[in-house]
Structure 1
């Protein structure tokens, strides 16, 4: 069974949840339980899913708000709100580009790296559980149908007014 299809299913469901205002409290609890630092535990409890994804997106290099919005498929306003929280908890830094003062680059702090790593580990554990629970239950064709259905459902939700 192809795990990329299972990953697609998970990402679609995750996107539906985040777009409908759910804050993934189980995901935050998973991360909080593994943090030793009380201040980081309190910070994670107040972060949105977008904020956690920003941390993971910044692991490889610093990025602008526009780059993050494009990569994470959220609005620039959503990135700005989440970045303000991350800055407040000192999980990221913000620096203006020397040649363009409007362009702000975000980067992880050492605490931000700790939370980002745990966030990534949590996602890996979820993917492993999905593979264990569903790979024997559904064929590749069934998973493709589920993926198509979830995309259609998301499109319906996006266009429903």
Structure 2
């Protein structure tokens, strides 16, 4: 590999590492910070920092109605264990409810509380804002062909990393 190619690959890896670090910031991810800034409820603001990104995605998934942990895991593409861990925290903060139906005592069904609905709504607003800004800024700078190449590259990179 020549020096220019090696430097480019190093820059790509460095940028990806920066993105990863940003999501594990001890002061909360940028998502958590954005959500805190856009909440009016002080109690919820304090709870946000203790919730994982998976927890926020569970809240958003439950906006469509009551679901089991297995259904949520499939919907947001995480493990059942990941859903269970996040759900425990959400239950602790009274953001979701866990119930069993009389016809099937094995399955636990999760649903949103009023506070959980508020947090889910702000989380959804954050994703819409990010999506809108990304589209506006990236399409202003890059052609659709450029963006397709980047999307394919990132998918290829993800597939390669799955092998390690």
TM category (shorter chain) comes to: 0.7 to 0.9
- Scaled by the length of structure 2, the TM-score of the pair is 0.82
- The answer to whether the 8 A contact 2:23-2:30 is kept is no
Aligned to 1:10: none
Aligned to 2:24: 22
Matched, 1:40 2:44: yes
Structure with greater contact order relative to length (CA < 8 Å, sep ≥ 6)? 1
Q: Which has the larger radius of gyration?
A: 2
The superposition leaves residues 74-101 of structure 1 with CA deviations (integer Å, 9 ceiling, x where unpaired) of 0000000000000000000001122221
Distance 1:25 1:54 in 2: 17
Secondary structure of 1:121's aligned partner = helix
Secondary structure of 2:140's aligned partner = coil
- Structure 1 residue ranges, 4+ long, deviating more than 2 angstroms after superposition: 20-24
Secondary structure of 2:141's aligned partner = coil
- Once the two structures are superposed, the pairs formed by residues 48-127 of structure 1 within 5 Å of their partners are 48-127=52-131
**Unmatched segments (≥5 aa) in structure 1:** 1-12
**Paired residue total:** 145
The superposition leaves residues 122-150 of structure 1 with CA deviations (integer Å, 9 ceiling, x where unpaired) of 00110111012111222222211111111
The superposition leaves residues 35-68 of structure 1 with CA deviations (integer Å, 9 ceiling, x where unpaired) of 2222211111100000000000111111110001
Task: Name the Cα RMSD after superposition.
Answer: 2.0
Secondary structure of 1:135's aligned partner = helix
- Scaled by the length of structure 1, the TM-score of the pair is 0.83
Deviation of the 1:17 alpha carbon: 4.5
Aligned to 1:132: 136
